[in-house]
Structure 1
Amino acid sequence: MIDLVFTKMDRVFLYMDRRRCTFLHKLDKLGIRQTVKFEFPFDSLPIVVKSEVVKMMNIPDRIKLAITSQRMENLVKRASIKQPLFYAIRVDKHYPIITMDVRGDENAAIADSSRQFDRSNMIGTLELVPWLNRKYSDMQNMTHIFKKLRRILPIKRLALILIADQLTEKSVKELLSIPELTTIEFVWIEGDEIESNILKLIMDWLDTKKDISIIDCHIPEDFHHAKAFKFSSVHYEDADWVEIEDLLTLEDCDAVVLGRNYLSSEDVNRFLKFWIESDLDMFEWFSMSAETLEMTEVLEDLILVKTSRDGQDYSIVKASRKRKIMSITLEEEDEDCLRLCVYSPEESFTKEHKVLELMEQKKKLETELQAMVKNGVEARRLTMEIRKLSKELDSVCTFYNEKTAIIAH
C-alpha cells in the first residue's frame, strides 16, 4: 500500500492509495475539502506525468512503488536518476540497517521489521519480501536489498557504520568480503572499545583514498597499523595510542583530527620541523587536543611570523622544499586545540610568506658573510644586500630578529 500527499500549485492535492489516484482541493488553511473526485489507476497516466509524480514522492514511497512490479521499478529508476542519495549501512549485533538521505536529512531507513523505531520513514524488511531470500543470512539479505536499491536510487556517497563492541572477527570478515562495500567512501566506528585484531582487519581492507572516523570508542594503547595515517581523512577521538612516528607517515591527507593523546610539546615541535623539511604534501588541515602542550616549546627553533586576524593569533611557517606555508593556531575557546592549516602563498598569508622569504634570504647571506674575509669585495656586497633586506623587513614588520617577525594588522 502506498500513501502519498503532496501539493500542486499550492491548491490542488493528489492522494494515491493502492496505485489509484484521487484529486483533492485545498479550501483554506484549516483543512482539505474534496471537491470533484477524479479517481483513476496510476498506470493510466502518461509516462511524463508518472515520472513527475514519482519525483514528488518521498524515498520510502518510491521504494514501496518500485517493489510492486518491474515496470514501476524502471519508472522509479528513471525518475530518480538526477537525485543521488547519501547511503549508510549500519552494522551491529542485530539485523543491519540501511539509511538513505539527501543533504543530511534522513529520508528512509530499512531495518528488520521486529526492531522498534520511532520514525515514520522506516521500512521493515517484511515490506520488501519480493527482494528477500529465505536461505540467505541477515547480512546477505540486506546486501541483496542494497544491490537492488543502488540500481533504482543512485548513490552519491556510501558510508559504513560499525558498532565496535558488538563485532566479532567472524562477522567482520563476512562483512568485508561483500564486493559492493568496496565502493564505500567513509567508515565510522563507535562503541565502548574496538579490539586490535578487528581494527587491523578493517584498516587492511580499507582503501587509502577513503575516510575513517573512530568516535566514542577506546583503541588499545598498543595498537599500531602502517595505514592508520594513510587515509584521505582520519579522526581518532581516542588517540592515546598515537606516537610521533605515526604522524611522520602522513601523506596526501586532507584532514587529521586527534582527540585525547599523549603527544608532548617536543613531539609536536619535531612534527613541525619534519613538515618544513619534507618533500611531501603531508596534510591540508590538522587538529589535535593540546591540553598538555606548551607553545613556546612547540615553536622552539622555528623561523616564523606572528600575526593576527579577526582576534585570532597565528604563527606562520614556510616549507623549505615546496611552495607551501602553514598557519599554527592554539584555540582556547572550548578546550585547548592546536590547529595547523596548509596553504599556497597565493591562497592566504601572502604578506607573511614574503616576510619569511626575506628572513630566509637574510639568514643565508649572513651565514655566507661570516665565512668570508671582512674587508673583501664580496663581503662588502653581501653587507649591502643584508642592509637592503633589513630595510624591507623594517617596512612591513613591527619587530623581527633571527627567528621571529611580528606583523601588526
Structure 2
Amino acid sequence: MPFWKSIISRFFRKPTEKPFPFNRLPDVARIIIIRKMDGVEQVKLALSSKRMGQYMRIAMIRNYDYCQIKIEKDDFTIDLKHSVLPTKNEISIMGFQETTNLIGKDLKPGLNEDSSVAENAVTVLKRLQAAFPCKETGVIFIDNTPAVIKHVLDALGDLVYVSLGSTNPETEAVDLVMDSCKKGREIALDVPEMPLDYSHPNAFKFNIIYYYDARWVRLEHLFSMGEIRSVHFEKNNLKCEDLNALLKYWTTSDERMTRVLKFPITEEANIQERSLFEGLIFLKTVIGGKHVRLLANKRKQFTIYVSWTDKYFKIWTYSPNDSPPVGNEAPLDREYRILEILKIKRIWKMIWRTKRIGRTLEMRLDN
C-alpha cells in the first residue's frame, strides 16, 4: 500500500469492531453514564429488562417524590415528579422543580400486547417503583369504567390520591373510589355531573376533597367531616340557612371538622350576615387586609374564621400550630379575650332571662 494511502486510512478508516457492550462496563462507569441520562432515558433503560431495573434500584440512581398515572381508554401516561417547591400554606397545591413525562405507547419494551391498557399501566408502574423508589403515588381515571377502576385500586393499595375525570361516571364507579377510602388518601371528582341523589358514608372521610359537582352534598354529609385537611366544591346547592346550621354544628363539635372549607357563592345562596350568624357569637375584624368573622366555639384551642366575597365563601379552623390563615402573622390574643368576654356575656344574659321568666311566673301564680 502506498505511504499516502496508509496515512489517509488512519484518519478515514471505517470502524471494524462492534461497540463495547454497556453491560460489560465497570459499575462506576456504568452508573456515571446512567446518571448523565435524562429521566425518560433512565426509565426506558430500567424497563429494558428486569435485571437492569434491579441494578438501577441497587445503584440508587434516583428517586421521586411523587408519581402520578393517568389512565385513558387507549393509552396511559405517567408523570414522575421530584424536588417539592415550598407552598404558601398547608392547603396550597404542591409544585415540583422537575417532572418527567412518560407516554405508555413509547414504553413498548415494558408492555404486553395481549394485556389491557389498565393492566399494562399497573405493570409498568410497579416496575418503575421497583427501579426508582417513589414516596407517594396517585391515579387519575379518565376511563371511568368500573372494571378498570377496580383492577387498578386492587393492584395499587398505597395510593395517596384518586381522581375521576372527563365523563360522567356510573354510580358503581364512584362507589368503588369511595370504598377505597384510607387514612391520608385524597379524592377529586372532577366530573361534569354527579347523580343528585348520590350518597356514601365515606364521602367526607378523605384527607383532601375536591368535588366539582357537589349539588348532591347535603348537611348530613358535611356534619360527618372530622379532622380532615380541606374541602373544595364548585357547583353546589348550599343556602344561607344551611351555612347557619353548619356553623352552629361546627362551633359545638368536639373535633376540628376540617381546616378549610371553600366553595363558590350562588345567587340562590342569598347570604345575609344577620341570617348567617343568627344564634352565634362572632367578632368582626380585619386580618391580613381581609374582613373576617371569628366565631366563639367549644374548643378553645381552635379559632373558626369565616370570610366571603362576591364569588367565594370560606371557613377556616386555625390553631397556633398551623400556618397563619389569610396572611396573618400576629397572634390573636386580643381577639381570643374579646370572644371569651362575649361568651360570658351571653351566658349571663341567658341566666338573667331565665330568672326574669321565673319571677314572672311566680307573680302570675301569686295573682
User: If the TM-score is normalised by the length of the shorter chain, which range does it land in?
Assistant: 0.7 to 0.9
**Residue segments in structure 2 that go unaligned for 5+ positions in a row:** 1-17, 83-95, 323-330, 357-367
Percent of pairs identical after alignment?
25
One-letter code aligned to 2:139: L
One-letter code aligned to 2:335: E
The residue that corresponds to 2:196 in the other structure is 221
Change (3 A) 1:361 1:203: same
Change (3 A) 1:173 1:67: closer
The residue that corresponds to 1:399 in the other structure is none
Supply the distance in 2 between the matched residues of 1:371 and 1:237 (Cα, whole angstroms).
47
Counterparts of residues 211-360 of structure 1 (less than 5 Å): 211-291=186-266, 292-296=269-273, 297-332=275-310, 336-344=311-319, 348-360=331-343
CA contact (8 A) 2:34 2:61 kept: no
The residue that corresponds to 1:167 in the other structure is 144
Deviations 1:306-325 (A, max 9, x none): 11134310100122145211
Instruction: Give me the CA root mean square deviation.
Output: 2.7
CA contact (8 A) 1:314 1:329 kept: yes
Supply the distance in 1 between the matched residues of 2:97 and 2:196 (Cα, whole angstroms).
34
Query: Does the alignment pair 1:153 with 2:126?
Result: no
CA contact (8 A) 2:62 2:132 kept: no
The residue that corresponds to 1:59 in the other structure is 39
- The alignment's TM-score, normalised by the length of structure 1, stands at 0.70
The residue that corresponds to 1:101 in the other structure is 81
The residue that corresponds to 2:154 in the other structure is 177
Larger displacement relative to structure 2 (253-262 or 317-326): 317-326
Query: Does the alignment pair 1:111 with 2:136?
Result: no
Partner SS, residue 183 of structure 1: coil
Change (3 A) 1:104 1:192: farther
Deviations 1:20-68 (A, max 9, x none): 7xxxxxxxxxxxxxxxxxxx76556653454344333221111233345
Query: Does the alignment pair 1:125 with 2:94?
Result: no
- The alignment's TM-score, normalised by the length of structure 2, stands at 0.77
Supply the distance in 2 between the matched residues of 1:351 and 1:238 (Cα, whole angstroms).
40
The residue that corresponds to 2:165 in the other structure is 190
The residue that corresponds to 1:378 in the other structure is none
Supply the distance in 2 between the matched residues of 1:68 and 1:294 (Cα, whole angstroms).
60
Structure number having the greater helix percentage? 2
One-letter code aligned to 2:201: A
* 1:290 shift after superposition: 1.5
One-letter code aligned to 1:141: N
Partner SS, residue 177 of structure 1: helix
Deviations 1:311-346 (A, max 9, x none): 3101001221452111111033xxx11111111257
Partner SS, residue 274 of structure 1: helix
One-letter code aligned to 1:62: Q
CA contact (8 A) 1:232 1:255 kept: yes
Partner SS, residue 218 of structure 1: coil
Partner SS, residue 213 of structure 1: strand
Larger displacement relative to structure 2 (218-227 or 292-301): 292-301
Deviations 1:185-233 (A, max 9, x none): 0012211312222211221123253100122421111111111111111
CA contact (8 A) 2:118 2:148 kept: no
Supply the distance in 1 between the matched residues of 2:182 and 2:49 (Cα, whole angstroms).
37
CA contact (8 A) 1:345 1:353 kept: no
Structure number having the greater strand percentage? 1
CA contact (8 A) 1:208 1:227 kept: no
Supply the distance in 2 between the matched residues of 1:69 and 1:187 (Cα, whole angstroms).
30
How many residue pairs get matched?
315
Partner SS, residue 182 of structure 1: coil
Deviations 1:134-190 (A, max 9, x none): 554433233222211101011122111012xx4333333333332xx1111001221
CA contact (8 A) 2:211 2:234 kept: yes
Partner SS, residue 251 of structure 1: coil
Partner SS, residue 189 of structure 1: strand
Change (3 A) 1:159 1:346: closer
